[in-house]
Amino acid sequence: MDFELSPQQAEFRDLIREFARRSIAPVAREWELSGRYPAEIVDEMKKMGLFGVLVPDEYGGSAVDAVSYAIVFEEISKAWMGIAGILGSHSLATWMLARYGTPGQRRRWLPGLATGEHRSGIALTEPGAGSDLQGISTVARREGADYIVNGAKTWITNARHADLLPVLVKTDARAEPRHRGMSLLMIEAGTLGFSVGKDLDKLGYKGTESAEVFFTDCRVPVENLLGGEEGRGLQQALSALEFGRVNIAGRAVGVAQACLDRALDYARQRQAFGRPIADFQAIQLKLADMATEVQAARLLTWWAAAALDAGKRADLETGMAKLYASEICIKASLEAMRIHGGYGYSTEYDVERFYRDAPLMAIGEGTNDILRTVIARRLYRAHDEES
């Protein structure tokens, strides 16, 4: 059992860390507060090949391992979590295409997505269906060589910049059980009847847009059905979300580590009663707990990623990692704010941004309460198998 990164993983981490330090951290506060889209950062990520980290080599990607994938999101999120969002949903779309797409679909779309010339996201959530994806109401009716799609999605990251969106639809609204009537359609920007609505204002998670998308008699060719077979969409989406929990856990570890770093620096500089507040036991206890919990979250995330790399079913591991890391992230952001005192409430300090970004990780890729039920079911099943 090895808890260390390989030399290749460590070198990759250092590359991403330097990119985040050089190109993201200096502008994060100003651009986040102004609502400025980080186009220059996106262009640099294209040059680095980060849009192709889950694309197989044969299609121009780098196909990194899941541990390295988690590291990308940790290091970027230490600087600005919103930038990680630009990569997150895009990479999940490429993962689904690489895993489930037909040979023709992979050849058609993956090369452009790998370079970032084309961008993607993932359109699952609806105004009336979030955690319960079987409750979606977007429908796709087959008409000759096309599907006619009607419905709406919401909270879609990259919606305004995506050239291609995997969209979860009902191709058979009467199917029982319901998941057998659900499919994923790859819908391209510019398709008649497909439109992007308003950007949704958010507490945090700035930098990337989250928007509504609408489908009104949107005609999509049958060859855009992911995998070429109806009724596989929910399975494909849930598999992507399972992998994506490593992404969310990595983001949470990154934000939590950034909170710890800022708290350590501030505690050593801030004077009270004639000495640094780092000398006070109350502060030391907070810092010790934060450091221990952040490292535990990191190792749990790597453990879950290693399970994915081993090709095992990993809903238990990824659920635990995402659950724990996101809860620790929220706790670390609050403790960092408390250590900063009044300054932690000021937009002049980064901890205010971290505090606003942290709650997203408890919601995204399955809410933590839903994940607790997933973990419990897997525990029951494992117990029954051992009995």
CATH number of 176's domain:
2.40.110.10
Structural domain includes residue 120: no
pLDDT in tens, 164-219: 999 999 999 999 999 999 999 999 999 999 999 999 999 999 999 999 999 999 99
Among 80, 115, 150, the domain-final residue is 115
Please check whether residues 48 and 145 belong to one and the same domain. no
| 260 is a domain residue | yes
pLDDT of residue 382: 86
In the residue annotation, 348 being an active-site residue is answered as no
Query: How far is 67 from 46, CA to CA, in rounded Å?
Result: 21
3: pLDDT confidence band, cut at 50, 70 and 90?
A: confident
Percent of the chain with pLDDT over 70: 100
343 found inside a domain: yes
CATH number at residue 320: 1.20.140.10
pLDDT of amino acid 141: 97
Please check whether residue 375 is in contact with residue 316, taking contact to mean a CB–CB distance below 8 angstroms: yes
Same domain assignment for residues 317 and 277:
yes
In a domain, 121, yes or no: no
- Asked whether residue 158 falls in the same domain as residue 297, the answer is no
Do 276 and 150 have their domain in common?
Answer: no
In a domain, 122, yes or no: no
In a domain, residue 54? The reply is: yes
CATH number, domain at 86?
A: 1.10.540.10
Characterize 268-306 residue by residue with b for buried, 16 or more Cβ atoms within 10 angstroms of its Cβ, and e for exposed: eeeeeeeeebbeeeebeebbeebbebbeebbebbbbbbb
Predicted confidence (pLDDT) per residue in 346-361, tens digit: 999 999 999 999 999 9
Do 247 and 377 belong together in one domain? yes
Contact 233, 184 (CB under 8 A): yes
* 123 is a domain residue: no
106 and 146 share one domain? no
pLDDT of residue 385: 83
- 3-state class (DSSP) for residue 92: helix
Token pair 């000021």 is found at 346
Residue-averaged pLDDT of the chain: 96
Look at residue 150 in the predicted model and tell me its pLDDT: 98
Q: How many domains does the chain have?
A: 3
Residue 387, Cβ density class (10 Å: 0-12 exposed, 13-18 middle, ≥19 buried): exposed
**Do the Cβ atoms of 94 and 61 come closer than 8 Å?**
yes
Annotated catalytic residue, options 44, 176, 365, 385:
365
What domain range includes position 184?
A: 133-232
Lowest pLDDT segment from 59-63, 246-250, 379-383: 379-383
Give the pLDDT of residue 52.
Answer: 98
Q: Are 239 and 370 in a shared domain?
A: yes
Q: How confident is the model at residue 75 (pLDDT cuts 50, 70, 90)?
A: very high
pLDDT at 1 over 80: no
Q: Which of 247, 372, 358 is nearest to 305 (CA)?
A: 247
129-142 burial, b for 16+ CB within 10 Å, e for fewer? bbeebeebebbbee
Tokens of 110: 């993956």
127 lies in a domain?
A: no
139 with 223, same domain?
Answer: yes
Whether 365 has a pLDDT exceeding 90, the answer reads: no
